[in-house]
Structure 1
Amino acid sequence: MTQRTQTPVTPRPFLKWAGGKSQLIEQYKPLFPKGFKNYYEPFLGGGAVFFYLHQQFTGFNAFLSDINPELINVYCCVRDDVETLIDLLDKHQLKHGKIHYYQVRGKLFRRKKHRAARLIYLNKTCFNGLYRENSKGEFNVPMGRYKNPKICNADLLRSVSEALTKAEINLQPFDAVLEQAKTADDFVYFDPPYYPLNPTSNFTAYSRYSFNEESQKKLRDTFAELSDRNVRVMLSNSDCEFIRNLYKDFHIHTVYATRSINSKGKKRGKISEVVVTSY
């Protein structure tokens, strides 16, 4: 079993996720509300915004959700049984290699904690740390070229477990937040799959759950309905005419991110994104 260290570890994302927001937090800081009682994040992903808010604000209730059942299972296992998960990841660390990787990738585990360990293991050892599924929901990323990947960051997982202790974590579509967030005490942050910048972009192709133009419009309608209730709403998306037109009635801010998930190094670099706020 991995030993505990004495140095406190600040909770932060423990998974590498497409579109993760860790690099953008500094630019987001001036845009966050100054206080709120309830926080909702319907596209949980890596959870960077939640972990930041957890450090900066006290006393709020967190409601975290996503439509990806494997992702939600991981968060629940980290929250509810982190020591068992650490033990399982330590075993993957000892066995890691090409044969073990493809055996784990091709195997479907029934027990929730084994499924959670599988996802973290694959996330830490697959090519470019990219979570991607085919149309059947099967993880299909090849093994990455890492000499000695750190599969189990036990102290980080423990700190994340502590941060999630009182969080409500649900498997549900983004518009389910309409049944929950209803007053000015509520803050909702949407981080959906981004609208593609060109026809060959695969921004929306990381899982079996497609997020097309109609989905973007449904999200805008959800955003608008929450805004009408005086709920404070914040949303991230790609910087393009379609998104700017969708949210033209709200406050649109420009931020700059480094595109890191691309097989061609020359296509990685600074790119503008938008943040929309209702306040």
Structure 2
Amino acid sequence: MNSPLKYPGGKNKELNFIIPNLPRQIDRFFEPFVGGGAVYFNISSVNQMFINDKSYELINFYRAVRGEDKEFISTLKSIDNTLKFLINFTSLNSSVLLNIYQSFKEHSNHQTLLEELSYFFDENQYTLQDNVFIHNLNYVTFYKQLVKSVTDKYKRTKRLEEKKGFLEKEDDIINNIETGLMSAYYTFNRYVYNNCNTLNLALPIQSALYFYIREYCYSSMFRYNQNGEFNVPYGGMSYNHKFLSKKIDYLSNTELVNHLNNTVIDNLDFHEFLETYRLTDKDFIFLDPPYDTEFSTYANNTFDLTDQQRLANYLINECPAKFMLVIKNSDLIRELYNENIITANEEPLQIFAFTKKYLVSFKNRNDKNAEHLLITNYEL
């Protein structure tokens, strides 16, 4: 079963190393840093499943899917309908939009460009208001972002032409203008997402925005500024004709919903989560923690050196269950985990390195060519 969510650092490509090397018998499955859940969504034949993440937005998303929340689904459908409308709107008005661009290219008058685009969007105000889903916010908020994004795109397209020569086809110009509209709607929704508490948006709507932004942000990055605001831009032109219809259908998939309904879902610190359920040697923990090079990018929650040390101490000295840890190879990780040390379950720590094709015993601890390490307290 596929994860419903695009998530940076997801382990879909590593499943061929992970799944065959899980313990043969598992009573209860635990994942304290579930993220996109690539492994969790491929777990079956266990008595109970428990997942956790420090990101409350992620956990709210999984709970919305599990509960088949109608407001969550309807919000995503409204967003998807808006995306389709904006593509069609650009196409229907392509001749006008091209004329505005040609005039700007010829005269290079930025004020005239702003006035002509403002006039165009004013002329189409009622069409836009009737078809663009804006969460009951004032239309002016979206309008300002629309004019800004499209104006910026016109200027950038002109600079691109001046640098590289004329674009081959008018379609290229329209594609850039189209990107301006799609970027405007994304940036508007990013603003709403960053202000969802101030705007008193219901949790299902927040979860829908979280999912939409995950799908359309640049390179699936999730990065926050010093004010705690998500600030990754729109993914770009290649995302313009990407719609959510199939994804929305999958979010209602019976197998997916049942899998989540058979799972305890928590939003805790990893140690509190693992201590809550009194683990035994029949349980199994899969761990894919934030990498030590990404402290500041973990879903607006820090996971720093102290946390990495806490995790290593728990796994080596306290954990009674079998575990598999998949983590990026770094100086810190090699220092925290020493092969063959006897762990709390009285088994030696085993460390393997894997590339895209191979899983091998990690004998050379200074081998920095091994990108990822797979660490267990049981024999593979």
TM-score, length-scaled by structure 1: 0.82
Query: Residue 84 of structure 1: CA displacement?
Result: 3.8
Larger radius of gyration: 2
Range with bigger deviation, 213-222 or 132-141 = 132-141
Equivalent position of 1:233 in the other structure: 323
CA distance in 2, matches of 1:226, 1:79: 32
SS of the residue aligned with 1:106?
helix
In structure 2, give the amino acid aligned to 1:182.
L
SS of the residue aligned with 2:261?
coil
SS of the residue aligned with 2:313?
helix
Are positions 1:244 and 2:244 aligned together?
no
Equivalent position of 1:210 in the other structure: 302
Equivalent position of 1:187 in the other structure: 284
Of the candidates 105, 116, 119, which is equivalent to residue 190 of structure 2? 105
Give the 5 Å matches for 1:121-270.
121-145=212-236, 146-152=239-245, 153-159=247-253, 160-176=256-272, 177-196=274-293, 202=294, 204-227=296-319, 229=320, 231-248=321-338, 249=341, 250-257=349-356
Higher strand share: 1
Equivalent position of 1:264 in the other structure: none
* Alignment CA distance shift 1:187-1:204 (3 Å): farther
Range with bigger deviation, 11-20 or 42-51 = 11-20
In structure 2, give the amino acid aligned to 1:126.
C
Query: Residue 275 of structure 1: CA displacement?
Result: 1.0
Once the two structures are superposed, residues 73-126 of structure 1 have per-residue CA deviations (whole angstroms, 9 ceiling, x without a partner) of: 001001012454332211111223222211110113331110110011111111
Runs of 4+ in 1 over 3 A off after TM superposition: none
* Alignment CA distance shift 1:254-1:175 (3 Å): same
In structure 2, give the amino acid aligned to 1:128.
S
CA distance in 2, matches of 1:271, 1:151: 37
Unmatched 5+ stretches in structure 1: 1-10, 197-201, 259-269
Query: Residue 135 of structure 1: CA displacement?
Result: 3.6
Tell whether the 8 Å contact from 1:134 to 1:207 is kept in structure 2 after alignment: no
Once the two structures are superposed, residues 136-175 of structure 1 have per-residue CA deviations (whole angstroms, 9 ceiling, x without a partner) of: 3322110111121232413321232222012111110111
Query: Residue 68 of structure 1: CA displacement?
Result: 0.6
Query: Residue 245 of structure 1: CA displacement?
Result: 2.7
CA distance in 2, matches of 1:44, 1:240: 21
Identity %: 27
Higher helix share: 2
Tell whether the 8 Å contact from 1:133 to 1:206 is kept in structure 2 after alignment: no
CA distance in 2, matches of 1:237, 1:183: 24
Give the 5 Å matches for 1:19-168.
19-53=9-43, 57-96=44-83, 97-107=182-192, 108-109=195-196, 110-145=201-236, 146-152=239-245, 153-159=247-253, 160-168=256-264
Tell whether the 8 Å contact from 1:70 to 1:116 is kept in structure 2 after alignment: yes
Range with bigger deviation, 150-159 or 89-98 = 150-159
SS of the residue aligned with 2:297?
coil
* Alignment CA distance shift 1:136-1:75 (3 Å): farther
CA distance in 2, matches of 1:246, 1:162: 38
SS of the residue aligned with 2:50?
strand
Equivalent position of 2:153 in the other structure: none
Of the candidates 3, 8, 13, which is equivalent to residue 3 of structure 2? 13
SS of the residue aligned with 2:371?
strand
SS of the residue aligned with 1:39?
strand
TM-score, length-scaled by structure 2: 0.61
* Alignment CA distance shift 1:82-1:255 (3 Å): farther
TM-align CA RMSD: 2.0
* Alignment CA distance shift 1:58-1:236 (3 Å): same
Query: Residue 204 of structure 1: CA displacement?
Result: 4.6
Are positions 1:278 and 2:377 aligned together?
yes
CA distance in 2, matches of 1:114, 1:244: 42
Once the two structures are superposed, residues 154-202 of structure 1 have per-residue CA deviations (whole angstroms, 9 ceiling, x without a partner) of: 3321232222012111110111112324211211111111122xxxxx4
Tell whether the 8 Å contact from 2:71 to 2:205 is kept in structure 1 after alignment: no
SS of the residue aligned with 1:164?
helix
SS of the residue aligned with 1:25?
helix
